Each structure stands twice: as C-alpha cells, then as structure tokens.
Amino acid sequence: MLGLLACVGITAPAGAQTYPTRLITIVVPFAAGSGSDTAARMLGQYLAPRLGQGFVVENRIGATGAIATTAVSRAAADGYTLLLGTNSTHGSNSALYKKLNYDPIKDFAPIAHTGVFSYFLVVDPKLPVKSVAELVSLARAKPGDVTYAAGSSTSIVMAESFARGSGVQMLKVPYRSNPPALTDVMGGRVNIMFCDMSSAVTSVQAGSLRALAVTTKARSTLAPDLPTIHETAVKDFDLASWTGLFAPAGTPKDVIERLNREVNAVLAMPEVKERFATLGIEAQPQSVDTFAGYVKSEVAKWTTLVKEAGIEAE
C-alpha cells in the first residue's frame, strides 16, 4: 500500500492534484472595455467551470501596461495571480522605456497564447477625410496639426510607423488606455487613432467613429470592404497585436501545463472562436514551449519596430 501511494505521488504531483483551491486573479494592464480586458473576461468565464474556481479580472492601467506587469512579476509564484500580457507588455515596452522595472522574459512563465487582434485606423467623423489618401493629404498640408490618440504602445508604434511611411507629421496625445482615448476621438478632441477592432467595432457600426482602413496586409473578414494601409499609403504595412496569459517566474510547471491545457480547450470551443471572431480576435492555441519561443521573437520584433519608427525611449 505504501509503495502504491509512493508511485501515485511520483506520477501525480501534489500541485496538479490540488490546484486551484481558491479564486484566481487575472490582472489586465489596460482599462475595462479594451481588447485585452474583453479577452480576459471571456477566458475567466469559460475557465471557471473547467477549473472549479472563480476568476477575478483586475484592471491596473498606466505606463502602457508596465504598472500591471511589474506588479504581477513580483506576485507569489503560485498560479493565483496571472497576467493577460500583450505585445506592449512583452514587446514594445522594452524599447519604449529606458528603465523597465521588469524583464519580459526572465520574470515570467508563459502559459498560453490567447489571440491576435486586428486593428482599425479610425477618425473623428467630423474630420473632413473619408479615405487614407485624404488623411495623408490633410496631414501633409498641415504638418503637426493632425493629432493621434495613443492609448497603448501598439497604437503608438502603428501611428508613428504610418507617419514615417507616408511622410507626414502628427502630434501624439497620450492616454492611459484605449477606451478613454476612443472617447476623445468620438468627441472630436483628437483626430485619429489606431485601435483594436474589439474596442472600436460597435462605435464604427453606430457611426460615431469612421474607419478608414485596417492595419493587416490582407483585408479583414470582419470588414472586407475596408482597404488596408498597405493598399493605400504605406507598402508592406502589416501590424496587429496579441494577448497571452503569463504567470510569475517560478510558478510550478504542473500548474503552467494545467492552465495551458484548459486555455487551449477553451479557445478550441466553437462558441468562443465565434465570439472572438466578431470582435476581430483570432484564437491561436499554442503549447507552452511554442508560446515561450513566440514571446522571445515578439520582444525582438517590436523593439525593432519602435526603433524603425524613430520613437525615442522615455
């Protein structure tokens, strides 16, 4: 009997048997209503019954996600505090800040890739432009007068890459997250914004925002009539964002593997894929190792994009 128990103990680690035993918190680096917030809440909704514990989504905004990410990097490595990271927190922030209080690779254990987000270029409907060409003409005629809302590092990189590629100058208006930035574009206080479809699609459909283009090289199935920036202004412009689930470094491997299996099972559910698709999010399940490699490549990629766009670190 003792021998049998010993064998069971070896083949089924205690962590795997008992985790989770209480609420799990997913920290989101951006405001409620943002694309990452939407993804986190959907994940929590579907993961809760599979894991037998509730999920709490906590929004900690500021510094293009660095505040939340730093906090999670210092949390207990027990699987109960997770981060819904993005290509801002685990990509461009490495180049946007001279001093970052976390290491996106060393301080985190990647769990699962959760989705790729398509982006719109949207404008205040009262702005006298109805195409990307007209926007470029306006910006060239009035250098520095066209303003763009910057609610995340992704939106900053996209805007500056667009400006550099099309030969225009625009004035950055910084925000702590996308939702308040979008509100000011709709209110006419800022002219344009690069924003994830999940945050903007309802306002675009209602006419309170005008979408001029999508940021991927291929047209979006969600908005097939919209041209791409590649087609209209900047050749080979092809940018999107992503989200993924992370835990603090040192979190037990069996906990990471369990969460990866459950997240991937949720992402494979037809209703989840359909809900994601209507928001311009493509579910992309990956193994832990594949996602870890992806994150490393994305840190390098977005660091290069920041430098190529001529954005100076703060």
Task: Using the 3D structure, point to which of 181, 205, 232 is the last residue of a domain.
Answer: 232
**Residue 86's Cα: distance from chain center in Å?**
4
Average pLDDT, the chain: 91
Determine the Cα–Cα distance for residues 106 and 104; give it in Å rounded to an integer.
Answer: 6
Distance (Å, rounded) from C-alpha 90 to C-alpha 79?
19
CATH of residue 47 = 3.40.190.150
For 73-104, write each residue's pLDDT tens digit: 999 999 999 999 999 999 999 999 999 999 99
Distances (CA, A) of 63 to 60, 100, 151, 287: 10, 10, 10, 30
Q: Are 26 and 104 part of one and the same domain?
A: yes
**Any idea what DSSP says for residue 228?**
B
Query: Which of the four pLDDT bands, split at 50, 70 and 90, describes residue 48?
Result: very high
pTM of the model: 0.83
Domain boundary among 181, 209, 232: 232
Span 162-208, pLDDT tens digits: 999 999 999 999 998 888 999 999 999 999 999 989 889 889 999 99
Residue 254 lies in domain: 2-117+241-308
Beta strand 192-196 with 147-150 is parallel
Confidence band for 17, pLDDT divided at 50, 70 and 90: low
